[in-house]
Amino acid sequence: METLFASCIGFLTSCGVFLMLRGRTFPVMMGLTMLSYAVNLFIFSSGRLTLRGAAVLGNSDNYADPLPQALVLTAIVIGFAMTAFLVILAIRARADLGNDHVDGKLPETGKGQR
Amino acid sequence: MWHLVVLPIILPMLTALLIILPPIHRRPSRRRWVSMISAGIQFIIAVVLLLQVQQHGLLHYAVGNWQAPFGIVLVADTLSVVMVCLTSFLALGAIIYGSAGEDEKGSFFHPLFQFQVMGINGAFLTGDLFNMFVFFEVLLIASYALLVHGGGKNKTKAALHYVVLNLTGSAVFLIALAVLYGTLGTLNMADMIGKVANIAPEDVMLVKAGGLMLMIVFALKAAILPLQFWLPAAYSSASPAVAALFAVMTKIGVYGLLRVYSTIFGEHAGPLAGIASVWLLPVGLITIVIGAIGVISSKDFRKIVAHLVLISVGTLVTLVSLQTPASASAVVFYTVHSTVVCAALFLIADLVANQRGKAGDRLVPGRRIAQPALLGTMFFIAVLSVTGIPPFSGFIGKLMVLQAVVEPMNKLLIWGVVLSCTLLVIIGLSRAGTTLFWRVSGTESDAEHVKPLQTVAVGWLLLASILLVVFAGPLTQLSQNAASELYDINSLTERVLGSPSFDMTPETLNLIPNITSNISTNTAIGGQ
């Protein structure tokens, strides 16, 4: 389970970083989303991977650490809000600047609008 | 009375909600008055809190009475309360300036402003790294919206870079927090001190990685090299009242560096003591140099001020890397000085640009300024103060910075860089001043004169620079107290973790060993 989990996080992170280094706003946004998924899974794993652990203190002998679950919930909510804002900002940048390049102008000469 | 600690967070939040309500939101004058009065009350609360902390020592507040390290705690020591005072002082000035008409250029200026103040105050007062992350996000999302306030191409472009960078920064922050939680089993700063000191040898590298990733995050917020490229564009395109408040945002990064690397990874941390100092010293010095080059090469005045912010951050980071009480006290004083003066300069840049017609704040010959005496005086005071020429606060600030350096090698290096860059700044600013005020042609521009509220706002910020000199004695004493409290980790852990208000009922006593033993066995399994 650990190997699967770790390679999953690694795959998401590398996809996220690759997409974030692209020049258009949409891939960058997707990259950030993937990175935040990877981060959320990673936070979750910081409480150790346990099977059938009770999250709330009860009579069980096997406890899952409840704190990372609370942390990851917070991180997910914040991530959603930020991504939503970024989508709106990217649409506005497309409207204001006339293209969807992250620098506000296309690198080719002649072709793109300024 | 102990609820005082939470008020600097609650009050801006309630004010923001109040301003959104229709009876107040419908009339611009009501929005302004509510916002200004609330900012005034916040400043008074911050000062009262400072007096309380001076009298009783460190205060801590367990939110919902959930005791540390299991619940959320707010910790008010001298350092954080001084920063809260600074924020509310600055916010009052910026809100007064914005109320002169700038707030009507876009919607929701006042609520967003209050939310941002809430985030900043929260980041200073929190005693827990995860909550610091949450408050960072609160202040960031407000700042994203404030940055595009008023609209325009430049703002959108700068905001896009700023948002993407900060979202990446947040992701790194979370990874660092997860690593630290996975190895130490806590994110409460006071609790982390003890855990880092008694760390298992096999966890050292992981904690070091987590700690250094935190440095990247704070370096991004503070805008130090090589993560500073977003700052000049973002700060110079933001509307002036917003830019004035942003002057304190870089200092949050510096505060984070100081807090984390002086207490959690301080000298008691064994193999992890001073992990950041090696990096921070060169990076801080190069940031100062880059800032100084920016000041002499910028083509408009707002860019110059943005680079002045970089220089102040570089100076502060250099001081943080020294890790002594003297340098920490210089950090406190210099932070207060540089924040208010840079904020004042952003406002002055806007006033000057308004009166120069088409030339704006670009450093080219333009039309005659309508009120040269008023604007010239403001400009002169702010510039003298920021460069560190007596009799203004910059002089004392720079003096404390230079005196905090004791080692001969460091002295040569830091004094050399700081002083030569100050010379470059003087050259750059005198060139800017002569162009803006003297290289003029034609008639006075018919732009409207400076409004009374704008004069009050700039005067309020410049007054701070003068008061910092008049009350230099008590204020340096205060910054020394802040520094010694920062390094007094024993009283911090004792106050926060072993609190008398916590009633140890048999049930809770039974629960605590369960949780801690469970976490420690988990950690042991994970470590192997």
Q: What is the pLDDT along chain B (528 residues), one digit of tens a residue?
A: 578 899 999 999 999 999 999 988 888 889 999 999 999 999 999 999 999 999 988 888 888 888 777 788 899 999 999 999 999 999 999 999 999 888 888 889 999 999 999 999 999 999 899 999 999 999 999 999 999 988 888 889 999 999 999 999 999 999 999 999 999 988 888 888 888 888 888 889 999 999 999 999 999 999 888 888 889 889 988 999 999 999 999 999 999 999 999 888 888 887 888 888 888 999 999 999 999 999 999 999 999 999 999 999 999 999 999 888 899 999 999 999 999 999 999 999 999 988 887 788 888 888 888 888 899 999 999 999 999 888 888 899 999 999 998 888 888 899 999 999 999 999 999 999 998 888 887 777 677 788 889 999 999 999 998 999 999 899 999 999 999 888 888 888 888 887 433 333 334 444 444 444 444 444 433 333
Closest by Cα among B1, B87, B97, B93 to B46: B87
From A45, A74, A104, residue closest to B157, measured CB to CB: A104
φ and ψ of B442, to 5 deg: 75, -165
Neighbours of A53 (CB within 10 A): 17
Closest-CA residue of B relative to A9 is: B175
- Are B194 and B263 contacting, i.e. CB atoms less than 8 angstroms apart? no
Residues A75, B144: C-beta atoms closer than 8 Å:
no
Instruction: Provide the sign of the torsion angle of the four alpha carbons B112, B115, B121, B122, taken in this order.
Output: negative
Measured N-to-C along each axis, helices B301-322 and B277-297 cross at an angle, to the nearest 10 degrees, of 160
Does A39 contact B at CB distance below 8 Å? yes
- Are B435 and B445 contacting, i.e. CB atoms less than 8 angstroms apart? no
Closest by Cα among B250, B396, B265, B249 to B321: B265
Residues 6+ apart with CB under 8 A from A103: A23, B157
Does A47 contact B at CB distance below 8 Å? yes
Distance of alpha carbon B284 from alpha carbon B287, whole angstroms: 5
Instruction: Provide the sign of the torsion angle of the four alpha carbons A42, A43, A49, A51, taken in this order.
Output: negative
Report the pLDDT value the prediction gives residue B285, as an integer from 0 to 100.
94
Report the pLDDT value the prediction gives residue B496, as an integer from 0 to 100.
83
- Are A97 and A104 contacting, i.e. CB atoms less than 8 angstroms apart? yes
Does B439 contact A at CB distance below 8 Å? no
- Are B88 and B17 contacting, i.e. CB atoms less than 8 angstroms apart? no
More confident position, B428 or A109: B428
Closest-CA residue of A relative to B524 is: A48
Take residue B516 and report the two structure tokens written for it: 């801690």
Read off the pLDDT of each residue in A34-61 and give the average, rounded to a whole number.
83
DSSP letter assigned to residue B362:
B
Q: Which residues of B359-383 are buried (b: 16+ CB within 10 A; e: fewer)?
A: bbbbbeebbebbbbeebbebbebbb
Does A25 contact B at CB distance below 8 Å? yes
Q: Which residues of B490-511 are buried (b: 16+ CB within 10 A; e: fewer)?
A: eebbebbbeeeeeeeeeeeeee
Report the pLDDT value the prediction gives residue A5, as an integer from 0 to 100.
93
SS3 label, residue B61: strand
Residues 6+ apart with CB under 8 A from A4: none
Report the pLDDT value the prediction gives residue A58, as an integer from 0 to 100.
65
Percent of chain B scoring above 90 in pLDDT: 55
Partnered with residue B441 across adjacent β-strands are B367
φ and ψ of B367, to 5 deg: -80, 160
Q: Which of B156, B510, B517 to mutate to test the interface with A (most CBs of A within 10 A)?
A: B156
The mean pLDDT value of chain B amounts to 87
Residues of chain B found within 8 Å of residue A46, distances taken between Cβ atoms: 178-179, 181-182
Burial of B4 (0-12, 13-18, 19+ CB in 10 A): middle
CATH number of this structure's domain A1-49+63-97, picked from the four choices 1.20.120, 1.10.10, 2.60.40, 1.10.287 = 1.10.287
Q: How far is B421 from chain A (nearest CA, A)?
A: 31
Domain boundaries, chain A: 1-49+63-97
Residues A82, B153: C-beta atoms closer than 8 Å:
no
Distance of alpha carbon B118 from alpha carbon B114, whole angstroms: 6
Our CA dihedral for B140, B144, B146, B152, rounded to 10 degrees, sits at 160
Residues of chain A found within 8 Å of residue B141, distances taken between Cβ atoms: 81-82, 85
Identify the H or E element spanning B366: strand B366-368
Pairing of strands B366-368, B440-444: parallel
Closest by Cα among B232, B197, B502, B192 to B342: B232
Report residue A113's pLDDT band, with 50, 70 and 90 as the boundaries.
very low
Report the pLDDT value the prediction gives residue A57, as an integer from 0 to 100.
64
- Are A52 and A62 contacting, i.e. CB atoms less than 8 angstroms apart? yes
Does B229 contact A at CB distance below 8 Å? no
Distance of alpha carbon A26 from alpha carbon A102, whole angstroms: 9
Report the pLDDT value the prediction gives residue B330, as an integer from 0 to 100.
93
Report the pLDDT value the prediction gives residue B503, as an integer from 0 to 100.
37
- Are B234 and B162 contacting, i.e. CB atoms less than 8 angstroms apart? yes
Q: Which residues of B424-460 are buried (b: 16+ CB within 10 A; e: fewer)?
A: bbbebbeebbebbbeebeeeebeeeebeebbbebbeb
- Are B362 and B353 contacting, i.e. CB atoms less than 8 angstroms apart? no
Distance of alpha carbon B272 from alpha carbon B517, whole angstroms: 25
Does A5 contact B at CB distance below 8 Å? no
Residues B153, A97: C-beta atoms closer than 8 Å:
yes
Report the pLDDT value the prediction gives residue B525, as an integer from 0 to 100.
38
DSSP letter assigned to residue B74:
E
- Are B457 and B464 contacting, i.e. CB atoms less than 8 angstroms apart? no
Distance of alpha carbon B363 from alpha carbon B430, whole angstroms: 12
Rg (CA), chain B: 23
